[in-house]
Amino acid sequence: MKLRASPVLTDGPIPLMAPAAIFLSIFFLVPLGYVGWMSLSQPVFGLQNFGRLLHSSLFASVLYQTFKTAFLVTVLSLVFAYPLAYAAANGSKRFATFLLTVVALSFWTSYLVRTYAWMVILGNQGPVTALLAWLGWDPAPKLLYTTFSATLAMTHALIPFMTMSLFSVMKRIDPLYVRAAESLGANPLRAFATVYLPLSAPGIVNGCTLVFISCLGFYVMPVLLGSPRDQMIAGIIGDQIEQTLDFGLGSAISIVLLALTLAIYALYNRFFGLDRLWAGGDR
Residue 118 falls in which region: left (phi positive, over 0), alpha (psi -120 to 50) or beta: alpha
pTM for the model? 0.86
Q: Would you give the DSSP letter of residue 196?
A: I
Residue 145 burial (CB count, 10 A) = 17
* SS3 call for 145: coil
Q: What is the pLDDT along the chain (283 residues), one digit of tens a residue?
A: 554 555 545 556 777 788 888 888 888 888 889 999 999 988 888 889 999 888 888 889 999 999 999 999 999 999 999 999 999 999 888 998 998 888 888 888 888 888 889 999 988 888 888 888 888 887 778 888 888 899 999 999 999 999 999 999 999 898 898 888 888 888 889 999 999 999 999 999 999 999 999 998 888 888 888 887 778 888 888 888 888 888 999 999 999 999 999 999 888 888 887 776 665 555 4
Name the amino acid, one letter, at 260.
L
